[in-house]
Amino acid sequence: MSFRTKLREHTLEEIRDLLTSLGEPSYRGDQIYQWLTRKVALSFMEMTDIPKSLRLKLEDHFDLSLPSVVDLQSDDEGTTKFAVRLEDGEIIESVLIPERDHYTLCVSTQVGCAFGCKFCLTGKSGFKRDLSVGEILAQVVIAKRFLKLKGESLPLRNIVFMGMGEPLANYKNLVKVLKILEDKRGFNFSRKRLTVSTVGLVRELRALAKEFPTALALSLHAPNDELRRQLMPIAKKYSLSELIEIIKTFPRVKKGRITIEYLLIKDVNDSLREAEELYRLLRGLPVKINLIPFNPHPDIPFERPSEEIIYNFQRYLLSKGMLTTLRKSKGVKISAGCGQLRRRLEGELLTPNPIYFEATLRAEAFS
Ligand code: SF4
């Protein structure tokens, strides 16, 4: 356990203060911040515009370590899944997805999840703890470093908070992470490229609307309260009418639409009756519907609908003028469904290895 201050937990202003408390000029904080964010440095030794004597001093006071990547899998289409082991041995996941002209990274915000959605592997494992600011940002650094080592020219442009955990249940850390990711002096992500996905924590959504409105993906998965309550325990606390109110009032970044995530589960919510109900619920609202065919897993008692059912559901919504997309199940072959890789790794002996991260990334990058 390191007792040095973990710099990756901090904003630029906080890093400047830490430097001045050591008697160093605050601009050193700006230099270090650039190295940590844009240049994704792993150690002070990489920070070549800082005198060596100062770098040695900084090493005594500050910890820049990243969690180790304990498994890394890529599929034929270039989707890469990282299993990352945290300091306390817990494992989280992030998934890097290639798009036409950029990459999207799906990050985790908690170890496990307390919300217990019936279709979700992470929910089945229960909640362990929130991730810290540094642990969430580390996933971005690992992905950027990976792309850099591969010599990849396409940028990492989108971050979606859609991995393990419910982002809004880790509200304080989430907002700090969002602010650091948007900071033009560092990572410089556009706010409309930061998407928070939620099961619909209404109280936190109202707070986010005031404090840091981002792009939003709302996990609906059912067109009425009764069915939603069967699938998602949170629906017992917040009704669909409260979520519709959020959709109507949440500030939209650059007039973008709110994404409605709808998992299609065979014989549960995939009939034309449910498609009609969904249309009646959402018509006229600034939304786009993203249909996600269920990705089967032996531990979850649901199945994927047939291709015909999936396309009929989508066709109905399109025929009603609803903007509706169908998510291609990227990463299915590499266990990229929520919580699946972590579950596979649990129980395996994971040997700590300080050089595993760079070695693995290099092997992957040059294979
Ligand atoms: S779907 Fe999201 S909120 Fe629901 S249990 Fe899984 S991780 Fe938690």
DSSP helix/strand/coil, 321: coil
Residues 93 and 195 in one domain: yes
Q: Looking at the domain assignment, is residue 32 inside a domain?
A: yes
Residues 307 and 325 in one domain: yes
Residue 202 lies in a domain: yes
Is 93 one of the annotated active-site residues of the chain? yes
Does 361 map to a domain?
no
Residues 18 and 89 grouped into a single domain: no
Tell me, what's the pLDDT at 329? 59
Q: Which range marks the domain in which residue 276 is found?
A: 68-345
219 domain residue, yes or no: yes
pLDDT in tens, 183-240: 999 999 999 999 999 999 999 999 999 999 999 999 999 999 999 999 999 999 999 9
* pLDDT computed for residue 342 by the predictor: 53
Q: Do 122 and 9 reside in the same domain of the chain?
A: no
Which DSSP state fits 219? Answer: E
Among 113, 117, 120, 338, the one annotated catalytic: 338
In a domain, 302, yes or no: yes
Of all atoms in ligand 1, which is nearest to the CA of residue 165?
7
Same-domain check for residues 132 and 14: no
Low-confidence ranges of the chain (pLDDT < 50): 331-336, 341, 343-367
Half-sphere exposure of 120 (CA within 13 A, CB side): 25
- One of 13, 87, 93, 346 is an active-site residue; which one? 93
Nearest CA residue ID for atom 4, ligand 1: 117
Q: Answer yes or no: do 28 and 149 share one domain.
A: no
Q: What is the CATH number of the domain that holds 119?
A: 3.20.20.70
pLDDT computed for residue 357 by the predictor: 44
Pick the last residue of a domain from 63, 80, 109.
63
Q: Which residues, in sequence order, are CB contacts of 121 under 8 Å at separation 6+? A: 297, 299, 300, 337, 338, 339, 340, 343
Q: Which residues line ligand 1 (CB under 6 A)?
A: 113, 115-117, 120, 122-123, 164-166, 199, 338
Reported as a single tens digit per residue, the pLDDT across 72-98 is 998 888 899 999 999 999 999 999 999
Mutation probe of ligand 1 site: the residue of 120, 161, 294 with most atoms within 8 A of C-beta: 120
Residue closest by Cα to atom 5 of ligand 1: 123
Are 290 and 214 in the same domain?
Answer: yes
Same domain, residue pair 77 and 54: no
Query: Do 26 and 152 fall into the same domain?
Result: no
